[in-house]
Amino acid sequence: MSTNPTADLGNMTLAALGDFIESLGHKRFHARQVYAWIWKRGVTDPEGMTDLPKALRAALASQARVATPEVVQRSVSEDGTRKLVLKLGDGRQIESVFIPDTPSQTFCISTQVGCAMACAFCLTGKMGLVRHLTAGEIAGQVRVLLDTLDMHDTPFNIVLMGMGEPLHNYDETMKALAMLAQEQGVGLSPKRVTLSTVGLVPMLDKLAAEPLMPNLAISLHATTEAQRVAIVPPSKKYTLHDILEACRRFPLAKRSRITFEYVMLAGVNDAPEDARRLAKILTGIKGKVNLIPLNAAPGIPFERPSDARVDAFAAILAERGVTVSVRKSRGRDIRAACGQLIVEGQGRRSPAQLLSEAMGS
């Protein structure tokens, strides 16, 4: 296909694709066929789109492209988790993760190169924000994973928990979800998508009005304002109180709940009194708590609490009527677990630099 960057079919909604095909002098209905080839079947070369008129195939080949992230590295964990390092059109790199049997097949997708949130326990935050991803780059990770894993006919879930803060890249993230939900393509129900955010309150309120509503996960990690500011810097602008109030007014389907993610840091937020406060501040919110024992890594100045400490914390929550689960770490041996995604040379400090700093050299 042409490398003309001005017409990327992989970054077009079905409506935009129809407009583009009309601009080439062809019937708009062909957009549904093209969309299905790209998203349902993974075919990006117009010559392979055999039900299209030859003239349209020729026009697409000369005047458009389907930009697709390139797999430059693959890692497989002993637990079956797979991590892909993907190179984008400008040479920047991101990471995407496949987590099998969770109990569904799950894709962990990135929304930015790096992240501006700078959470103290997360390697991605050490990179800073390099740039936002386009909708095509966000959704394109799904196409790559489907092709790489030969899963075009397999149901899957998506968690927007990779590199980046989805609500910081709001418009492109929502466009990507709309593209993936299109029935002519992947046909991914919003019920199979979970969006994780540190809690950017204006964007939470905006999300509440979206016609396509993903499941919501709030990265909470603390039970007091002072504690959260130290762990999650955006709390200086959006307080714990503000976030919880936004959650209280967030519309939920009858059987839906907000997931509150709580990364447990030894000696920081894992005490019994933290558990009791957590149960108290979540009173009146239709939610559940997902405890995440820290996935330690060079450059992260915290330790993972003991299993006994985690279990005691969970027991206190359960005793107070809070639905609680403990996330099993997946892919830790290939640095694919929560908080461990970082790409060499893409941001302020590389993994090698972080390791050197951690060793005091």
CA distances to 64, 140, 201, 264 from 225, rounded to whole Å, are: 50, 38, 15, 16
DSSP strands (E only) in the chain = 70-76, 82-87, 93-99, 106-108, 112-114, 129-132, 157-160, 193-197, 215-219, 258-264, 287-293, 324-326
Residue 95 annotated to the active site: yes
Are the beta carbons of 287 and 258 closer than 8 angstroms?
yes
User: And the tokens for 202?
Assistant: 């204006």
Enumerate residues 6+ apart whose C-beta is below 8 A from 254: none
d(CA 117, CA 126): 9
Residue 119 annotated to the active site: no
Choose the catalytic residue: 95, 137, 165, 172.
95
Name 197's bridge partners: 218
Choose the catalytic residue: 119, 122, 247, 338.
338
**b/e 2-31 (16+ beta carbons within 10 angstroms → b):** eeeeebbbbbbbbeebbebbeebebeeebb
The 3-state DSSP class for residue 130 equals: strand
Angle between the N-to-C axes of helices 307-319 and 272-281, in degrees from 0 to 180, rounded to the nearest 10: 40
Enumerate residues 6+ apart whose C-beta is below 8 A from 44: 1, 10, 37, 38, 66, 68
d(CA 302, CA 121): 7
Residue 292, class by beta-carbon neighbours within 10 Å (0-12 exposed, 13-18 middle, 19+ buried)?
buried
d(CA 184, CA 18): 13
The 3-state DSSP class for residue 142 equals: helix
Name 157's bridge partners: 106
| Position 131, amino acid | R
d(CA 132, CA 113): 6
- Catalytic sites, residue numbers: 95, 338
